[in-house]
Amino acid sequence: MAFEHLFSPLDLGPFTIRNRIVMPALGTNFATHNGEVTPRLVDHYGARAKGGAGLIIVEGSAVHYSGRGFPFILSIDRDDLIPGLTQVAEAIHLGGAHALIQLHHGGRNTSARVSGVQPIAPSAARSPVGEETPRAMTVAEIQDMVEHFAAAAVRAQKAGFDGVEIHGAHEYLVSQFMSPYANFRHDRYGGSAKKRVRFALEIVRRIREELGAGFLISFRISGNEYVPKGMNVKDSIFATKELVNAGADMIGVSGGVYETPHLIISPMPLGPGVHIPSAEIIKRETSAIIIGVGRINTPDFAEKCLAEGKVDLVAMGRAFVADPEWPIKAREGRLNEIRRCIGCNQGCVDYLMAGRPITCLYNAGVGKDREYQITPTANPKKVVVVGGGPGGMEAARLLAHMGHDVWLFEEGKRLGGQLLFACALPTKEEFYHVITYYENELRRLGAHVTLGEKIGRDEIIRQKPDAVIVATGSVTQSPDIPGLDNPNVLTIRQILMHGAPVGPNVVVLGGGNTGCEVADYLSQRGHKVSIMEMGNKMAADIGPGRRYLLTRRLRDNGVRNFLQCRIKAIYSDRAVYIRQTADGHRSLRELTDVDTFVNALGMRSRDELSGALSAEVDKVFVIGDALHPGKVLDAVAEGAAVAFMVENGEEPVH
């Protein structure tokens, strides 16, 4: 059998898990503001159980109101929540998977804004990146919190879960007690490794005492926190031995703290298996059953980790967000059909941290598992899609999957649109997987794809389509700045796609994600680069993990940042700009000795067709950048929405 180790069962006491594939806890923001289960949360986990997961660990659930880390965090701190949680457990079991639920308390990494009370922690020490200074817990409060964890586990059993996972990683309350990075106590709960682990051990023992040997207890630990005075692998080995002796059945080895966000949920620049080295050492040095995690995004790599004995189970949270059915596809050898997570973190982690329901860059069905079920159409239509960027490809894929007659026209030589730019940037080569996925799927599903041909109004009308989807993208925005049309001002397309020559001294106009990435690209090629940004932060439009890595690379490569600067005019070798200081003072300045400027000031829509077609074609839809410039995931979401509008016979809305 292909992937023999990946699809071998594992006995865990009274349970036998059907394979070694774990969907780990990953927040969704699908719960209500009061922490209650919603239908889409039930559907989310049910779909991933049906997709072939062996074990699903439901997202972190608050055991006490003081530990609510997110506004829409799932909760397990009240008995009235049990009926909703029962629906989640039943949906997972119905899909053939076993179900755990993660018990969570945010500790010092929450705020009164979210929980309604001052944060509590082992010590009154604010996290280096925290919002508020916490209050140190008394011994009585610590012992009371142990009871809250145990009571939450009892609720989990009543709801039908097979066990719980205690979140003891990522600088939340339990890990704060375990780590000298956050625990400065000198009583029975701090001062030595043995005392720091006491809180975690008391939770495990109390749950085992309440629920017996037939209830699974997993514990998630940071194998390495990657900060001075933080836990390292040696500390985690000691803690793991103690936890297993106390009654833990499994240990999930993750890593990182809020000060190292790129290591909690690792973004694209980091390779696969970020935490596997720590997990392998802990497995070798202890008797624990180990769950490995950290950018395990392909069946091949997962199989390798298991075959080499590095871990006992492999966990892939974002992989299940991207494609709920990837285990089934892997087992059946349909590897090209897997929608592979690329670690962009845009729809999952970034949305989670912003308090928005999660989605995925190229799976718009996340959180819409019921609404976006694909069924054969009863009324096949001919649909012309103009533009092969992410929105156009997604619309074409879904419509072809439903059975419609789809004709996609792309004027470039390859599908991808703006994704082709992303692929050319440093550390973002994995975006090619998005393009190849769509190419393979459109071919498999029988869509008619024409490349290298710009189709116009008359040609479209001759096709006699029932609907047209305009996905023609965007072009570089050119604000009214004197000199912006000079020969030494280049667009990103000219640099990345056409190899335009760039001088030794470069100024990038615009410090958003794209501007910073172009600066990174050029600085790595030996150019001296400066970035001019109107705002007060570089790459403010991306999440903390990716921003951390990108801005660190810029700093290491000597890229200069000019914040709160507005360009007034561009000359052959200099720029005139207005600099505003923190106190509001403005001054006119010059940046000299510039050879090349790069316009990264944003994009504007390009739509030359919708108006010309509106009187000739029954339904004309405009999506993606052609409607309003945005991110890839926005274009994909619009492409999916329009595909279902076409299927349902709905009218365009602009």
- Phi, psi (degrees; rounded to nearest 5) at 644: -75, -30
Catalytic residue from among 45, 172, 437, 548:
172
DSSP states along 535-551: SSSTTTTS-HHHHHHHH
Give 499's contacts (C-beta < 8 A, 6+ positions apart): none
Q: Is 548 one of the annotated active-site residues of the chain?
A: no
In whole angstroms, what is the distance from residue 358 CA to residue 365 CA?
10
CB of 507 closer than 8 Å to CB of 488: no
Block residue for tokens 């890839």: 632
CB of 82 closer than 8 Å to CB of 155: yes
- Phi, psi (degrees; rounded to nearest 5) at 409: -120, 125
CB of 125 closer than 8 Å to CB of 88: no
In whole angstroms, what is the distance from residue 330 CA to residue 333 CA?
5
Structure tokens at 608: 């030359």
- CA torsion sign for 209, 213, 216, 219 is positive
- Give the dihedral of Cα atoms 74, 75, 79, 80; nearest 10 deg: -50
403: left (phi over 0), alpha (psi -120 to 50) or beta: left
Give 208's contacts (C-beta < 8 A, 6+ positions apart): 215, 217, 246, 247
CB of 545 closer than 8 Å to CB of 515: no
Cα-to-chain-centroid distance, residue 53: 19
CB of 227 closer than 8 Å to CB of 188: no
In whole angstroms, what is the distance from residue 168 CA to residue 253 CA?
10
In whole angstroms, what is the distance from residue 97 CA to residue 100 CA?
10
- Phi, psi (degrees; rounded to nearest 5) at 532: -110, 125
Q: Which sequence positions are flagged as catalytic? A: 172
